[in-house]
Amino acid sequence: MNVLEHMPAPENEPAPGTCVRLERPEAGLVLLRLDPPHRKLAVFDRPLMRDFALALDELERARDVRAVVVTGKSPTSFVAGADIDAISGLADVELATALARFGQGLFERVARLPWPKVAAVGGPVPGGAFELSLACDAIVLAELKSTRIGLPETRLGILPGWGGCQRLPRRVGVPTALAAILTGKLYTPREALKLGLVDRLCAPENLLRIASDIALGRSANPRRERGAKSWLVDRNPLALAVIGNAARKNLHKQTKGRYPAPSRALELVLAAPGTPPERGLANEASALGELAVGPVCKSLVALFQGSEAAKKLAKLPDGSDVRTVARAGVIGGGVMGGAIAGLFAERVGSVRLCDLSRDALDAAQAAHLARVEKARKKRILEPHEARAAADRLETSTVIAGLARADLVLEAVAEKLEVKRAVFAQAAAQARPDTILATNTSSLSVTAIAQGLPHPERVVGMHFFNPVHAMPLVEIVRGRDTAPEVVAATAKLALALGKTPVVVADVAGFLVNRVLGPYLDEAVRLFQLGIAPERIERAALDFGLPMGPLELLDEVGIDIAAHAATSLHAAYGERMRSSPLAGELAAAGIKGKKSGAGFFTYTTDPKTGRARKGALNPAVAARAGTNAPTLADDMLRDRLALALVAEAARCLEEGVVASEAELDLATVFGMGFPPFEGGALRYVRSRGPAQVVERLATLGDLPDVRARDGARERFEACELLRGLSRSTSKRPS
C-alpha cells in the first residue's frame, strides 16, 4: 500500500524534492535539513514525508560521508510532529497501521545509516519530531524559551507510533519513559537534559557548530549510558512487574478506563526492553492503527483542531493583525480581579490593580508573589524573569494611573450601575482607544456600554474561576463592539495562555447558560429525595470532573442563585429554577467560601485548601423523602441531556459561531468529558435520533410534567430534530 497516496494533499503542494535538502557545509559532513516551503513550521505531511524518503535515497547512495546532522529550517524551527489533519481523516485501521509503519521505516533508515548521526533541534520538538531525533546517536537541543520536547500523543488519544515507545525506554529507562509518554508532557530544555531525553544544550547560534563537532568526533558525545540500571530495572521482570502494577493503578485512577491510549502505551513501554526491535515496532504500529480510528482519538483531535482554530480569532477576518495589549489596568481586587491582574503581570506586562480595600490589594499582591516564587523554584521562570514579573503588578486604592493602559478590565460587583460608574471613571482617564473589558458573568455588555464614550471599545472578557487553572475565556461581543476590539481581546487571551471563544451578548453568554439547567436539575433531583452521592456519582460516571452539587459549592450558591434569576428573567419558564439555592444563600449557606454548602468543608492544614466532607445536615433536612425509582442511566441523562439540549439551542440561536467552538467551550469552560469531544459531538456520537427520543421521555416523567417550564427544558430544539431527521435518512 502506498500510504502517501491516501494522505491529504496541502494547498499549493510543493514539487518533489523541495521540502528536504542535503547540504555539505564541510568535507565529510551532510546536513539533512527539513525545510518545506509551504509551511512556516514543518509537519510530517505528505510532501515532507515524500521528500524525506527521497533525501534518504540520495544519502544512502552518497560517498565521502563521515557524519550526518539532522536539523530544521533554523535553530528555533524543526518539525511540529505529525500532520493532525491526516490523523483526523483516518478511518481505516489497515491504512492507519500502514502509515505508522511507513514513518517507522523512514526513521529506521536514519538509524541504520552507517555514520554518526546527530539531531540538532530547537523550538517545538513534539511527537514525530522527537521520534526522529531518537533515531539519531545524539540529540543537541537549542536552549531558548520556545523550546519544548516530548511525546504528547496520548493527549490526542493515540501513542508514539514511529518508534517512540521502543526507543525512549531504551534511551532513558522504563520509569522515565512511562512518565514522559503517559503524561504527554512537553519538557523544557533543562528538564529534558536532566531526564536524559537529550544529550546537550546550547545557545541557538551554536546549535549547528556543536552538533557538527559531535558528529565529526571533534567533541565527545555526551550521551549518558544506562549501565547497570538497564539490567537492574529495565530487564528485571520483578522490577517491571512492580513498576507496571503501580502505573496501572495510577492510570486507572486518572482515566477511569475511558482513555485507551495510555494503557496501550504502558504495556508497549514495559515490554520494549525485552522485545526484539522489529517486533516491538510492529506491535506499536498495530496499536496506533487501532487507536487512530477510535472515537476517543477523533474527539481529542477535534478539540485540538478547535483550539488551534481559536488562535485565528486574534486576527481580523481578512487575516490582518491587530494591536497588542501590553499594559493594563484592573479595577476590583477580589478573587477574580486579583488573579487576572496577577496573570497579566506574569505573562504579558505591567498592570495596575485598583480597589478601595487595601486588605484586598495586599492579598492579591501576596498571591501574585507566591505564584511567581513557585514558578522560579520550578525553574519555569529565571530569577530575573521572576523579579520582573513580581515588579509588574502595581496596586492603588483609587482608580488612577490608567492613562497609558491599552486595556482596562473591571471585576467589581455584578450590578449594572456599579460597572457603569467604574467604567465612566476609567474612560475619563484612559485614551479614547483603550479597550474597556468587563469580566461580568451575567450582565449585558451592551447595557454596560450605554452612555460611555466610544462604546465600540467595550467588550466582555469573561474568565472562569480559578483564573490560573481554567483554560477558557469567553470574548463577549456587544451590539456596538468593534471587530478589531474583539480580535485584540482574543489576542490578549492567547497571550495569557487561554483559549478564546467569541460569544453573543445574551444572558448567561454560553457556558453559564448551558450550566444553568444542569445545576438546577441536580438541585431538583436532590429535592425529590435522590441521594446526593447518587447525583454526584451520575455526573462523575458520565465523565464530568466533579459532581453538580460540589460544583455549586465551588462556584458559590449565592452566585449560582443570582445567575439563575438572570436566566429565568431572560428565557422564561424553561429556565425557572428551584428556589432552594436562594433560600440556602439567604441562610448564609453559600458553599466553600462560607465553610459549608451542600457539603461541609474543613481546611487542610498542609495545603490550606478546603477539603470536602459529609453532606451538610442543614441542607440534608431539605431533601425529599419519597424519591421516585430512577435507574442510573435515567439519572445520568436527566443531568447530561438538560445541558446538551441547552447547548444545542445556543448553537441554533447563533450564540457561538460553530459546532466546533461550542464543543470547545463546553469542554474547556465547564469540563464536559474530553473523550466525548463536547456537547454536540456527543449528540452525533450517541445518535441524534436517540437523543431526541430520550429528551421526549425525560419531558414526560411525572415530576417533570408537574414542574413549570420543565417539559420545555427537555424539548429538542429544531437543530436537534434536524440532525435526527438527516441521520435517520442515511442508508444503513
Residues 499 and 515 both lie in one domain: no
Q: What is the pLDDT of residues 626-658, one digit of tens each?
A: 888 899 999 999 999 999 999 999 999 999 999
Q: What is the pLDDT of residues 443-469, one digit of tens each?
A: 999 999 999 999 999 999 999 999 999
Q: 344 is in which domain, residue-wise?
A: 328-504
Provide the pLDDT for residue 234.
86
Provide the pLDDT for residue 732.
42
When pLDDT is cut at 50, 70 and 90, the band that residue 517 belongs to is very high
Q: With 50 as the cut, is the pLDDT of residue 198 above it?
A: yes
Residues 536 and 604 both lie in one domain: yes
- Closest to 150 (Cα-Cα) out of 189, 199, 116: 189
Span 152-177, average pLDDT = 97
HSE-CB at 410 with a 13 A cutoff on CA atoms is 29
Hey, which residues does 142 pair with through a beta bridge? Answer: 202
Span 482-489, average pLDDT = 98
Among candidate residues 504, 537, 567, the one where a domain is terminated: 504
Structural domain contains residue 315: no
Structural domain contains residue 304: no
The domain spanning residue 142 has which CATH number? 3.90.226.10
Q: How far apart are CA 251 and CA 179, in angstroms?
A: 11
Q: How far apart are CA 152 and CA 183, in angstroms?
A: 7
Q: How far apart are CA 684 and CA 726, in angstroms?
A: 11
Q: With 60 as the cut, is the pLDDT of residue 730 above it?
A: no
Span 31-48, average pLDDT = 96
Provide the pLDDT for residue 227.
76
Catalytic annotation present for 454: no
Span 179-202, average pLDDT = 96
Q: With 80 as the cut, is the pLDDT of residue 728 above it?
A: no
**Residues 648, 453: contact at Cβ < 8 Å?**
no
Structural domain contains residue 171: yes
Q: What SS3 class is residue 142?
A: strand
Span 505-525, average pLDDT = 96
Neighbours of 486 (CB within 10 A): 23
Residues 646 and 569 both lie in one domain: yes
Provide the pLDDT for residue 284.
98
Q: Which of 6, 454, 462, 568 is catalytic?
A: 462
Radius of gyration of the chain (CA): 28
Q: Which pTM does this prediction carry? A: 0.94
Residues 435 and 542 both lie in one domain: no
Mean pLDDT for all residues in the chain: 95
Residues 44 and 118 both lie in one domain: yes
Structural domain contains residue 678: no
Q: Are strands 186-187 and 148-150 parallel, antiparallel or unpaired?
A: antiparallel
Q: How far apart are CA 524 and CA 537, in angstroms?
A: 16
Provide the pLDDT for residue 731.
45
Structural domain contains residue 621: yes
When pLDDT is cut at 50, 70 and 90, the band that residue 1 belongs to is low
Phi, psi of 132 (to 5 degrees): -65, -45
Q: How far apart are CA 163 and CA 105, in angstroms?
A: 9
Structural domain contains residue 396: yes
Residues 495 and 381 both lie in one domain: yes
Record the cell numbers describing residue 327, joined without a space.
Answer: 499594559
Residues 613 and 483 both lie in one domain: no
Residues 441 and 559 both lie in one domain: no
Q: In the chain, how long is the greatest CA-to-CA distance?
A: 87
Q: Residue 459: which residues within 8 A CB-CB, separation 6 or more?
A: 435, 436, 437, 438, 445, 475, 476, 477, 478, 481, 485, 486, 489
Residues 397 and 525 both lie in one domain: no
Structural domain contains residue 303: no
Residues 590 and 624 both lie in one domain: yes
Among candidate residues 504, 522, 549, the one where a domain is terminated: 504
Among candidate residues 293, 310, 338, the one where a domain is terminated: 293
The domain spanning residue 464 has which CATH number? 3.40.50.720
Place of cell 441562610: 587
Residues 389 and 263 both lie in one domain: no
87, 179, 252, 291 from 263: Cα distances, Å: 20, 13, 9, 11
When pLDDT is cut at 50, 70 and 90, the band that residue 710 belongs to is confident
Q: What is the pLDDT of residues 339-363, one digit of tens each?
A: 999 999 999 999 999 999 999 999 9
Long-range CB contacts for residues 682-685, cutoff 8 Å, separation at least 24: 682/644, 683/644, 683/648, 683/720, 683/723, 684/723, 685/295, 685/299
Residues 215 and 135 both lie in one domain: yes
The domain spanning residue 555 has which CATH number? 1.10.1040.50
Structural domain contains residue 310: no
Q: How far apart are CA 717 and CA 662, in angstroms?
A: 16
Provide the pLDDT for residue 232.
81
Tally of structural domains, the chain? 3
